[in-house]
Structure 1
Amino acid sequence: MQANEIRRSTAVDAGIFAALALVMAATRLHHFGAVPDASWAVFFVAGFYLRRWTAWAFPALMVLAVAVDYFVITASGLDFMKHYCVSLGYWALIPAHFAMWAGGALMNNVVTQSAGKRLGALVVSVVVSVVVCHAFAQGGFYWLSDSVKNPSVAGWFKNYTDWLLPYMGVAASYIGVAALLHVAAVKMLGLSESATARTTK
């Protein structure tokens, strides 16, 4: 790869990072608003495009997520550390979000396969990533938060399954939009999937 190609791909990656950070911040500000929180999808898409930047891009997005949460909680007049959502379980969001990141990063391994195989891999990757992510996020809150009185395996399982499909639907919807934009961009710019894969490693 030539030097100008490296610079160009780095600029594109920086633009992708900025766009994803903006989407997450804008939607996370209103977690239960009319526009659902795109955080899980953002980490998945970032894992696909920015896996060569994992060492700093993943921590940067995590810091942004916590900063947005801090702003929202304190802006409402509450103490961040005393909020019911913030407990020892809150830090389970790190492996939760990394599960989404890893799912996106693994998609790089199939970008040169047939369209059918890519679609199948995307579906499996999204489902598995969300199942694992939700296990950490919901499980951390359920088992490690003082907000849940008398936790039990049955109570945890019901809570996990009650929320799994809604979160799956939100993440899949955002990732689906991102996939369509990716396909459209590849066609418009006349790129091959192998070329897009090289710039993500």
Structure 2
Amino acid sequence: MAMTQTQRYGVFAALALVMAATRIHLSLFHHDIWDASWGIFFLAGFWLRGSARWAFPLLMAEAVLIDYIVITNMGISFWSHYCVSAGYWFLIPAYGSLWMGGSWLAKRQRGLTLSTLGMAVAVLLVSEAACYVISNGSFYWLSSHVPTPKSFTAWFANLGDWYLPFLQTTALYAGLGAVLHVLTVQMARTSEHHGQMQN
């Protein structure tokens, strides 16, 4: 589905708003709204393919800014927070893997078909796993908050502890995005069909 530049800006604004609302809420209040960031980067790669030069850096900057605001508002120095270490910068390739997965899918999908659905599930699983390994691994190996001595056995155990919750959350938001995509495509087809009937 081709989009105008104005539509791209609108999609970007909507994705940025959802990420801000869920990322801030998760950090400031309780864990009753899950952080949509991973799903947002996957969907952005799909919907905004070809706009990575401006959209990806802006989403990354938003994520870092939200983290900074939340952490400093807690009265904590940004770099002394438990979740921030040298591994924090690996969020760029981690989120980048989600963006690339969505972009790859957008280039190769064949419309609203079962084969596209199967491809979407496979691509989401692969890109989410890459994001998870990069983000978890960089934190485990580079953070001073992880007890030493560090080992691959302990890292693999840590990977297993957190993989399913991250996968479920990412799949939830990507699934909601897929439903929205299907509805939008169907509405556009219906509108186009009515236009042709009137002509």
TM-score scaled by structure 1?
0.88
User: 1:155 offset after TM fit, Å?
Assistant: 0.8
Please identify runs of 4+ aligned residues in structure 1 that moved more than 4 A.
none
* 1:116 has 2:114 as partner: yes
Q: Which residue of 2 aligns with 1:194?
A: none
CA contact (8 A) 1:110 1:117 kept: no
User: 1:52 offset after TM fit, Å?
Assistant: 1.0
Amino acid at match of 2:189: G
User: 1:112 offset after TM fit, Å?
Assistant: 2.1
Whole-angstrom distance in 1 between the partners of 2:66 and 2:154:
30
* 1:20 has 2:15 as partner: yes
Whole-angstrom distance in 2 between the partners of 1:83 and 1:56:
29
CA contact (8 A) 1:43 1:100 kept: yes
User: 1:136 offset after TM fit, Å?
Assistant: 0.7
Q: 1:73 aligns with which of 68, 71, 74?
A: 71
User: 1:113 offset after TM fit, Å?
Assistant: 5.2
Q: How many residues align?
A: 186
Q: Which residue of 1 aligns with 2:45?
A: 47
* 1:100 has 2:102 as partner: no
CA contact (8 A) 2:98 2:127 kept: yes
- Describe the SS at the equivalent of 1:37: coil
Q: Which residue of 2 aligns with 1:183?
A: 182
Structure 2 unaligned residues grouped into runs of 5+? 191-199
Whole-angstrom distance in 1 between the partners of 2:112 and 2:53:
30
User: 1:179 offset after TM fit, Å?
Assistant: 0.3
Whole-angstrom distance in 2 between the partners of 1:110 and 1:99:
17
Amino acid at match of 2:184: A
Q: Kindly provide the CA deviation profile for residues 40-75 of structure 1, in whole angstroms up to 9, marking residues without a partner as x.
A: 000000001112110111011000000000011001
CA contact (8 A) 2:49 2:106 kept: no
Amino acid at match of 2:19: M
TM-score scaled by structure 2?
0.89
Whole-angstrom distance in 2 between the partners of 1:165 and 1:34:
17
Instruction: State how 1:117-156 maps to structure 2 within 5 Å.
Output: 117-150=115-148, 151-156=150-155
Structure 1 stretch 49-58 or stretch 13-22: which is displaced more?
49-58
- Describe the SS at the equivalent of 1:51: coil
Q: Kindly provide the CA deviation profile for residues 81-115 of structure 1, in whole angstroms up to 9, marking residues without a partner as x.
A: 11111110001101000010011001113332561
* 1:62 has 2:60 as partner: yes
CA-atom RMSD, angstroms? 1.7
Whole-angstrom distance in 1 between the partners of 2:52 and 2:104:
13
CA contact (8 A) 1:47 1:104 kept: yes
CA contact (8 A) 1:47 1:102 kept: yes
Amino acid at match of 1:46: A
Whole-angstrom distance in 2 between the partners of 1:88 and 1:65:
16
Identity %: 46
Whole-angstrom distance in 1 between the partners of 2:185 and 2:25:
32
Q: Which residue of 2 aligns with 1:9?
A: 4
